[in-house]
Structure 1
C-alpha cells in the first residue's frame, strides 16, 4: 500500500524542472517540507487525549447528564482543533507570498515586501521556549521593517527539524529558491 506522506521528501528531490516547488499551481499555499516527528508526536498525543475525553462524554451522555456531556464533547472538539492547528504550524509559500503560521497567529508577507530570505548561524530558541542554543535559522528580511531585524522562519531546533539537519537544509534551500524565483518577478 503506497503511503504518500513517506515520499514527500523524494518528490522535492526529484523535481525535474527549474521550479522551486514541484507542483503545477503556484498560487496554492504549500509547505515545502514535512512536519517533524516532534510536532507529529505532540499532535498524536493530543488526539489520544481527545479520544479519551470524547469517550468520557459518551459515557456521561448515557448516564443521563446531557449538560455535562455537552461540555465534554466541546472540550474534546477543542483538543482536536488544537492538534490540527499544531500540524499546520510552519512556513508556507505560494506565488502570492510567504506565510508564517504560528499556533495563534498567521502572518502573510507578499513577495513585494521580501528583501531577503537567507540562512544564518545565530542563537535560536529551543522548541520555541525562552532558552536559546546555537543553531541555524532561516531568516526573513522585510522591506520597511529594518528596526525589527530579520524574523526567523525556521530553525534547526524547532519541532520540525530538531536532530534533522538534512531536512532543515533541504527546507531552507527550497524556501530560499522559492523566494528568489518570485522576487525576480516583482
Structure 2
C-alpha cells in the first residue's frame, strides 16, 4: 500500500492530476527528508527545552518572576534553534533555489543558475571544521559567480546515506534542468 504522505516533498506525487485545495505549485519544497543526525539533534534540543520549561515553572512558583522570564526566554531560544535546525537545507520551487542555513538564507532564481552538478571534493564532516573526501552538489552562477555548496554526502542529512544523497542531488539537478532559463 503506497503511503503518499511520506513522499520527500510532502505532495501527493502519485496523484498530480488531482487538484487539491492545499497544494500550491509555487511553494518552496525540500526535495529530500531531513536526515537522522539533523532530527536527532533537534530532538535533543527539544528535550532540553522541555526541562528548561519545567524549570521555568518551578522558578515562577518560587516567586522569582525575573528569573522565570529569563528561563522562559532561554527555553524559547532553544526551541527556535531546534526548529531552525530542522528547516536548514536546500529548498526548490519553480522560481528558484533556496539554501537555508542556521543563520542565513539565500535564494537564487533559476535564471541566475548556470549549472548544478555533483563533484568530488573535500567536504565538511557534519558541518564541523574537519574535512573528508566526499561528494558535493554545487551550483555555478551565471557570469562565474561563486555560490555555496548546496549538499554534501557527509552532512547531517546524508551521513552514511549515499543513496539518499544521490536521489536528492538528482532531484535538485532535475529541477534546475526543468526551470532554469536558457540564455538567448
Taking a change above 3 Å as real, the CA distance of residues 26 and 129 of structure 1, as seen in their structure-2 partners, is: same
Instruction: Provide the residue aligned with 2:176 in structure 1.
Output: 179
Instruction: Give the deviation of 1:36 after TM superposition.
Output: 0.2
Residue-pair matches, total: 176
1:112 lines up with 2:150 in the alignment = no
CA contact (8 A) 2:49 2:75 kept: yes
Instruction: Give the deviation of 1:71 after TM superposition.
Output: 0.6
Supply the RMSD in Å over aligned alpha carbons.
Answer: 2.5
Taking a change above 3 Å as real, the CA distance of residues 3 and 11 of structure 1, as seen in their structure-2 partners, is: same
Taking a change above 3 Å as real, the CA distance of residues 71 and 121 of structure 1, as seen in their structure-2 partners, is: same
Query: Where do 4+ consecutive residues of structure 1 move more than 4 Å?
Result: 2-5, 9-12, 14-17
Instruction: Provide the residue aligned with 1:159 in structure 2.
Output: 156
Alpha-carbon distance between aligned partners in 1 of 2:173 and 2:79, rounded to the nearest angstrom: 33
Instruction: Give the deviation of 1:131 after TM superposition.
Output: 1.3
Alpha-carbon distance between aligned partners in 1 of 2:141 and 2:81, rounded to the nearest angstrom: 30
Structure 2's unaligned 5+ residue stretches are 17-21
Give the TM-score normalised by the residue count of structure 1.
0.86
Instruction: Provide the residue aligned with 2:91 in structure 1.
Output: 92
Instruction: Provide the residue aligned with 1:49 in structure 2.
Output: 48
Taking a change above 3 Å as real, the CA distance of residues 136 and 24 of structure 1, as seen in their structure-2 partners, is: same
Instruction: Provide the residue aligned with 2:31 in structure 1.
Output: 32
Instruction: Give the deviation of 1:15 after TM superposition.
Output: 5.1
Give the TM-score normalised by the residue count of structure 2.
0.87
Provide the secondary structure at the position in 1 that maps to 2:180: helix
